[in-house]
């Protein structure tokens, strides 16, 4: 399985996917090398030399380290060439506006790529009508990890509240972001690597880095090997305001670490055989809204996931604030 994560951006026609992609491209993702696959680059203002030899119609390398391409007619072969030649740390795919993301996720899984998150862009101005007219709109919402309500400046408070309620009914798990002109906190939607997040978490005296929109992070490290069942139980009980957990985990009885990706209640653990001899400790970074409220309880509960630790499940829940 490839270790390059893939983020999917979806949303109905005209919702603002390209605008959001432009926002990400113009600002970069904190020095990460990002490959962005879009359906049509006609409206994306990019500059840079075309990289030859790729199995794509158009591939542009940007000055900020991003790579942009269009017209992937053979997804597997195209992605393989992008990974081998451009060496991105993240791949972002914009799906067709009239398609649900689930088939793309399924195809990526078959190809061995790890889907990091699905972000669905919602047009606040047209969503209520289009959801009734086009069933795929509901599918796009239901399959999202992050819901971006775009064009909020073009509707009144009553319509905006109606959109919020409809989205909550369709997908109560997803984290919701409201914006205009596709301006989003890309660090949250496109978490581009454990190391970068960990460095930011360590940049403040408390190990937590506050953002203007109250998105912050903290880290957990231990030399103890964990029990997988206990960790999975712990992850399933995390507060809703913890949106992402990324890291590497050492389990008892396993010769290699596992790569952990938790996004808005959904989590995945994959063997990371490439680092069998390179990582002796478990390292996790937690990202969410006002994480300081839960930081101490999470850090108190995690050691109970260690192999050999004696405790009752109620003890873990109590340390997480549920008991």
**Residue 54 pLDDT > 50, yes or no?**
no
Measured from the Cβ of residue 191, the count of other Cβ atoms closer than 10 Å reads 26
The two tokens of residue 123 are 């047009």
Which CATH superfamily is 194-319 part of? CobW-like, C-terminal domain (3.30.1220.10)
Please write the tens of the pLDDT for every residue from 112-157.
888 889 999 999 999 999 999 999 999 999 999 999 999 999 999 9
The two tokens of residue 323 are 């008991």
Query: What 8-state DSSP symbol labels residue 306?
Result: B
Q: Classify the C-alpha dihedral 166-132-92-160 as positive or negative.
A: negative
Phi-psi region of 121 (alpha: psi -120 to 50; beta: other; left: phi over 0): beta
Closest CA to 149 of 166, 132, 133: 166
Residue 61 makes CB contacts below 8 A (sequence gap 6+) with 48, 49, 51, 67, 86
**Residue 276 pLDDT > 80, yes or no?**
no
Measured from the Cβ of residue 304, the count of other Cβ atoms closer than 10 Å reads 21
- Which stretch, 36-45, 86-95, 133-142, 208-217, has highest mean pLDDT? 133-142
| Main-chain phi, psi angles of 50, to 5 degrees | -75, 130
**DSSP line for 221-256:** EESSPBPHHHHHHHHHT--TTEEEEEEEEPBTT-SS
**Tokens 């996790």, located at residue:** 284
β-strands 258-263, 266-271: how paired? antiparallel
**End-to-end CA separation in angstroms for the chain:** 39
**CATH among 3.40.50.300, 1.10.287.3510, 3.40.50.720, 1.10.510.10 for 5-189:** 3.40.50.300
**Residue 55 pLDDT > 60, yes or no?**
no
Q: Chain-wide mean pLDDT for the chain?
A: 78
Please write the tens of the pLDDT for every residue from 181-203.
878 777 778 765 445 555 555 55
**Same fold yes or no, 5-189 and 194-319:** no
Which burial class, exposed, middle or buried, applies to 319 when counting CB atoms under 10 A from its CB (0-12, 13-18, 19+)? buried
- The b/e string for 75-113 (b: 16+ C-beta within 10 A; e otherwise) is beebbbbbbebbebbbbbbbbebeebbeebbeebeeeeb
**Residue 294 pLDDT > 60, yes or no?**
yes
Residue 125 makes CB contacts below 8 A (sequence gap 6+) with 151, 154, 155, 159
Q: Are 45 and 19 in contact (CB under 8 A)?
A: no
Task: Express as a percent the part of the chain with pLDDT over 90.
Answer: 30
Please write the tens of the pLDDT for every residue from 239-254.
988 988 988 899 988 8
Q: Could you state, in order of their start, the residue ranges of all structural domains in the chain?
A: 5-189, 194-319
Beta strands in 44-202 (DSSP E): 58-61, 67-70, 90-94, 114-123, 146-150, 175-178
**Residue 109 pLDDT > 90, yes or no?**
no
CA distance 314 to 320: 10
């Amino acid at each position: 399985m490839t270790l390059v994560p893939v983020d999917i951006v979806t949303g109905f026609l005209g919702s603002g996917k390209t605008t959001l992609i432009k926002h990400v491209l113009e600002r970069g993702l904190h020095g990460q090398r990002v490959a962005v696959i879009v359906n049509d680059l006609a409206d994306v203002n990019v500059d840079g030399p075309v990289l030859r030899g790729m199995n794509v119609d158009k591939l542009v390398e940007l000055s900020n380290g991003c790579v942009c391409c269009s017209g992937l007619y053979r997804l597997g072969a195209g992605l393989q060439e992008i990974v081998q030649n451009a060496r991105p740390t993240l791949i972002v795919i914009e799906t067709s506006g009239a398609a649900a993301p689930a088939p793309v996720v399924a195809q990526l899984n078959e190809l061995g790529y790890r889907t990091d998150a699905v972000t669905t862009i919602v047009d606040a101005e047209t969503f209520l009508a289009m959801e009734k007219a086009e069933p795929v709109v509901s599918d796009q919402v239901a399959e999202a990890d992050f819901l971006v309500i775009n064009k909020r400046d073009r509707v009144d408070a009553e319509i905006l509240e109606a959109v919020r309620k409809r989205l909550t009914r369709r997908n109560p798990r997803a984290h919701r972001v409201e914006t205009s002109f596709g301006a989003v906190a890309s660090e949250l939607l496109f978490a581009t690597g454990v190391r970068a997040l960990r460095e930011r978490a360590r940049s403040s005296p408390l190990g937590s880095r506050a953002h203007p929109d109250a998105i912050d992070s903290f880290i957990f490290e231990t030399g103890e090997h964990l029990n997988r069942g206990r960790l999975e139980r712990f992850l399933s009980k995390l507060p809703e305001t913890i949106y992402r957990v990324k890291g590497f985990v050492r389990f008892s009885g396993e010769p290699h670490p596992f790569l952990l990706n938790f996004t808005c209640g959904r989590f995945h653990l994959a063997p990371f055989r490439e680092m069998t001899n390179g990582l002796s400790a478990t390292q996790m970074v937690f990202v969410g809204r006002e994480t300081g409220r839960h930081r101490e309880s999470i850090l108190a509960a995690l050691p109970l996931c260690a192999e050999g630790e004696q405790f009752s499940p109620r003890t873990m829940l109590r340390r997480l604030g549920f008991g």
